[in-house]
Structure 1
């Protein structure tokens, strides 16, 4: 994790992408934001980039590769596991089954998207503040 690294958002809905970016900017967070429409696009990026992302926010239901499959593939990769990028689900799919599957895949957080803009802003602020203040083994390590 790099405090200045990009925030990765894996979200297939353009309206939700807009809302995420707008809210993060409104919070004054300067980190670049990288959007991917499905887990496979995000995985391809993560396997090829030298960037050390700050945080990943991931939806669950997406085409090609869903959020649970993405997390499982990250866990299976020695390179990506070692990066230890904080991985948080931010989704409308908050069933007992999806929460259990997420934590079985060793996710660091699971949030159901808040129903209003102000509640969503509070939710993202909480997530970002937590990871900005959390001590992390890769905080100062840069991977190549």
Structure 2
């Protein structure tokens, strides 16, 4: 049985945030989604231990603290490194992909151009993590 997830979406593009909200609604998923506009805002959000999400969906290209820097900080923190972090990006750069795997990400999803393809990918990712056994903080 799939469980409801607490998702932290770290994304600076308002259109991408709206697209994720629309997708969750379209799929009739009862997940709770929190938003952070950049890595710095996400780290501030995670300072409050009652905010710890089940998974993090992370964009790479953001102001202040980019996705890779955020991932490094997150995975260096013993209290936060267990949180599965899935990169959700337009970057197909192999250097970015390799660095994210080295740093400890849980998945790397390329944002497709077609909305229907985006919905399918998000549905698969969230379905997987909602049946996976997650550590509760």
TM over 0.5: yes
TM-score bracket, normalised by the shorter chain, equals over 0.9
Confirm or deny that 1:95 pairs with 2:81: no
User: Once superposed, which parts of structure 1, at least 4 consecutive aligned residues long, lie more than 3 Å away?
Assistant: none
- 2:112 & 2:72 partners in 1: Cα distance? 26
Confirm or deny that 1:47 pairs with 2:44: no
Cα shift readout 1:80-134 (whole Å, capped 9, x = no counterpart) = 12xx211000001121011011101110000110111110000000100111112
- 2:100 & 2:132 partners in 1: Cα distance? 21
- 1:59 & 1:112 partners in 2: Cα distance? 10
Cα RMSD between the aligned structures? 1.3
Q: How many residues end up aligned between the 2 structures? A: 135
TM alignment of 1:22-41, pairs within 5 A = 22-41=22-41
Name the TM-score, length of structure 1 as normaliser: 0.88
Name the TM-score, length of structure 2 as normaliser: 0.92
**Alpha-carbon contact 1:61-1:67 (below 8 Å) kept:** yes
- 2:31 & 2:89 partners in 1: Cα distance? 21
- 1:62 & 1:100 partners in 2: Cα distance? 19
Which structure would you say has the larger RCO, counting Cα contacts within 8 Å and 6 or more residues apart?
1
Partner in structure 2 of residue 123 of structure 1: 121
Q: Which runs of 5+ in 1 are unaligned?
A: none
Offset of 1:6 from its aligned partner?
A: 2.0
